[in-house]
Amino acid sequence: MFSSRSFTFFYLFSLTALGQALEGDGHLMSVGGPHGWDG
């Protein structure tokens, strides 16, 4: 019952949410920010 399109959308959505969560956390996604995080 899973179409590849909906699965891809869900996968990308999960990656985006995870990326934003890590970026907000600070010490995992340090790239792309004006200030460098130090763990």
Q: What is the mean pLDDT of residues 5-14?
A: 89
Please tell me the distance from the alpha carbon of residue 5 to that of residue 15, in angstroms, as a whole number. Answer: 15
29 — pLDDT class (breaks 50, 70, 90): very low
Q: Which residues of 9-35 are buried (b: 16+ CB within 10 A; e: fewer)?
A: eeeeeeeeeeeeeeeeeeeebeeeeee
18 pLDDT tier (thresholds 50, 70, 90): confident
pLDDT band at 32 (very low <50, low <70, confident <90, very high): low
pTM of the model: 0.44
pLDDT(7) > 50: yes
